[in-house]
Amino acid sequence: MPTPFEHLAALNRLVHEPSRLAILTALSVCEKADFLFLLNITGLTKGNLSSHLSKLEQAGLVAIEKKFEGKQPITYAMLTLEGREALTEHWKRLEHIRKGARALKPLKAT
């Protein structure tokens, strides 16, 4: 009989980290977002947003697209399919854990 906490082991730290959870969750509701937009809504510094995005890209959860808009370089990020699935799965696990705790109720300390 598995406890709901087994799901914790499966929590993907890459997704779970607050800043990245923010980025991913934000991306999940826009088809595409640029760097500065993400910067504003997450409140991260440029440096940290940059490195989190790289990490997410490397993991295949987001796709990065760099182009020039006129003369300004601009970086777009969007969720990959994999990223979308990972995020959905993650929220589901969290939900599951919290719900599961209630089911644990009858258990008592030795």
Which of a second copy, DNA, none is residue 59 near (CB under 5 to 8 Å by kind)?
none
* Tally of residues, the chain: 110
- Decide if 60 contacts 15 (C-beta within 8 A): no
Q: 72, 102, 107, 108: which one contacts DNA (CB under 7 A)?
A: 72
Judged by beta carbon, residue 70 or residue 102, the one nearer DNA is 70
The footprint of a second copy (CB under 8 A) covers 3, 5-6, 8-9, 11, 13, 16, 18-19, 21-22, 25-26, 28-34, 36-37, 40-43, 74, 76, 91, 94, 97-98, 101-102, 104-105, 107-110
45 binds DNA (CB under 7 A): yes
Considering just the CA atoms, what is the radius of gyration of the chain in Å? 17
In degrees, to the nearest 5, what angle opens at C-alpha 62 toward C-alphas 60 and 63? Answer: 95
User: How is residue 92 written in tokens?
Assistant: 């589901």
